[in-house]
Amino acid sequence: SGKWGRVVAIVKEFEEQCRTPIGKLRQVADAMDVEMHAGLASEGGSKLKMLITYVDNLPSGDEKGLFYALDLGGTNFRTLRVHLGGKEKGVVKIESDEVSIPPHLMTGSSQELFDFIASKLAKFVSSEPEELHPPPGRQRELGFTFSFPVRQTSIASGNIIKWTKGFNIEDAVGEDVVGELTKSLEKIGLDMHVAALVNDTVGTVARARFSNQDVIAGVILGTGTNAAYVECAHAIPKWHGLLPKSGEMVINMEWGNFRSSHLPLTEYDHALDAESLNPGEQIFEKIISGMYLGEIVRRVLLKLAEEVDFFGDTVPPKLRIPFVLRTPDMSAIHQDTSSDLKVVGNKLKDILEINNTSLKMRKIVVELCDIVANRGARLSAAGIFGILKKIGRDTVKDGKKSVVALDGGLFEHYTKFRSSLESTLKELLGDEAAETIGIEQSNDGSGIGAALLAASHSQYL
């Protein structure tokens, strides 16, 4: 019928606009490489901030003792106690507590957010048995993973540049994250020393390096997306400090803010961006990461409902609610293996209150998920390939192995996304170079990595 013809036409057009043929991915990777150079050359030289992290020594594997970590990522907030056992024992024990961040704190005041964090940390510590208490005169030490752009001024201080991922706390912009946290800790009388302030990508590199010395980069695919990698200190023209002894510096790229004319953007992406809390910013993040993938699919479905009565004569009211279709639900829809797409039907019913969908309709919904996930995964692979190019690891060199550590709920749980990323990276590298590059899931890198960096920057060393 005419209706189906129009449905197919809209889907086809969307698919066309989202296409990421290998040539386009190479252009994206080249643009990433160019922007990395520009961001390292001068402050503000690129959309990529290429932030200096003050991490010039990564874990050797010898780190030992009891350290704490706070992980403020986007969706959840975690407190961790990590027992490190050095080379023989590795990470001996991790205990952690997780709470979701009340939405009103994401757009409230700085003080409210940090008081909340401090109170959760105090609660976590107060339940500890006597034998875990530090000896008299010694403070507990903490690594703070704060996964938003920060201009660091030392390993344990740095000012918030801007918020992302649905956060918007205006009075915190420009403030020192560690100062804010320390104020809140003092207020409730919790005696703890913040030994390291780290981005989750940097934590991921540190965590993975603790177990594997071939690790050269870390990528987060969670609520948002970002990457960090190990750069030669002399390849950072904007760094005017002393060259570190190691000759290396970890760079937090803030690649979520990458943008290029080669990125395949659609009308739905432009509308999502325009209506977001941070229009014009984090464009790469908005087409790749977990916060947004489901929302893009929702927008295409809404267009189908409005323009061609895809779900019947009326537009299902729930379909108009921004972010109602979450990426975990999208991945369940996408990966439904039942012959009648039962999961798809149930999700449409439960989330959008759309009943009696035909198999034909369900297949369209799955196809939209496939288009959106594939584009995100392939562009993520292009970004990784861009990093490898920048540091000359994209081709075979005396058999040297390089490992990229990945972390985040999207990579961990969305199997189709993950396998698309992996196969695309192989495709970009070619068979021979692909042999020397490893992708490794670094579980809990953002938490454990912060504890490791607290250990290597302890005030008692």
Tokens representing 46 are 């690129």
Residue whose tokens read 């039907």: 345
Chosen residue from 39, 59, 73, 256 binding Mg ion by CB under 5 A: 73
Contact between residue 256 and residue 285 where contact means Cβ atoms under 8 Å apart:
yes
Tell me, residue by residue from 287 to 306, as one string, x for binding to ligand ADP by CB under 6 A and - for no binding: ---xx---------------
Of the residues 165, 347, 389, 390, only one is catalytic, namely: 165
Q: Which of 56, 71, 115, 200 is catalytic?
A: 200
Is residue 12 among the annotated active site residues? Answer: no
Least distance in angstroms from the C-beta of 292 to ligand ADP: 8
- State the burial class of residue 12 (Cβ atoms within 10 Å of its Cβ: 0-12, 13-18, 19+): exposed
Per DSSP, the three-state class of 289 is coil
Identify whether the C-beta of residue 155 lies closer than 8 Å to the C-beta of residue 90. no
Q: Pick the closest to residue 138 from 94, 181, 84, 195 (CA basis).
A: 195
> In terms of CB distance, is 70 or 341 closer to Mg ion?
70
193 pairs with which residues across the strands? Answer: 141
Q: Is residue 80 within a helix (H) or strand (E), and if so which, with residue range?
A: strand 76-85
Contact flags string 387-426 toward Mg ion, x per CB under 5 A: ----------------------------------------
447 touching Mg ion, by CB under 5 A: no
446 binds Mg ion (CB under 5 A): yes
Q: Which does 18 bind (CB under 5 to 8 A by kind): Mg ion, ligand ADP, none?
A: none
Closest CB to ligand ADP among 57 and 75? Answer: 75
Choice between 96 and 458, CB closer to ligand ADP: 96
Q: Give, rounded to a whole angstrom, the gap between the first and last alpha carbons of the chain.
A: 75
Whole-number Å distance between alpha carbons of 223 and 282? 12
Stretch that binds ligand ADP, among 60-68, 173-181, 235-243, 409-417 (CB under 6 A): 409-417
The amino acid sitting at 256 is: G
C-alpha 398/C-alpha 419 separation (Å) is 28
Which one, 31 or 300, has the nearer CB to ligand ADP? 300
Q: Which does 357 bind (CB under 5 to 8 A by kind): Mg ion, ligand ADP, none?
A: none
State the binding string over 410-439 for ligand ADP (x if CB under 6 A, else -): x--xx-------------------------
By CB under 6 A, residue 61 contacts ligand ADP: no
Minimum CB distance to ligand ADP smaller for 63 or for 295:
295
Which residue's structure tokens are 């990395």? 36
Q: Which of residues 70-99 bind ligand ADP (CB under 6 A)?
A: 73-76
Q: Which of residues 231 and 336 has its CB atom nearest to ligand ADP in the complex?
A: 336
- Catalytic residue check, 33: no
Measured distance CA(85)–CA(92) in Å, rounded: 6
DSSP string, 343-392: HHHHHHHHHH------HHHHHHHHHHHHHHHHHHHHHHHHHHHHHHHHTT
- Closest residue to Mg ion, based on beta-carbon distance: 73
Question: How many angstroms separate the CA atoms of 60 and 74, rounded?
Answer: 29
Could you give the 3-state DSSP secondary structure of residue 242? coil
For residues 364 and 352, what is the distance between their CA atoms, to the nearest angstrom? 16
Per CB under 6 A, the segment of 4-12, 130-138, 269-277, 327-335 that binds ligand ADP is: 327-335
Residues that bind Mg ion (CB under 5 A): 73, 200, 222, 446
Residues that bind ligand ADP (CB under 6 A): 73-76, 222-223, 290-291, 327-328, 331, 408-410, 413-414
Catalytic residues: 165, 200
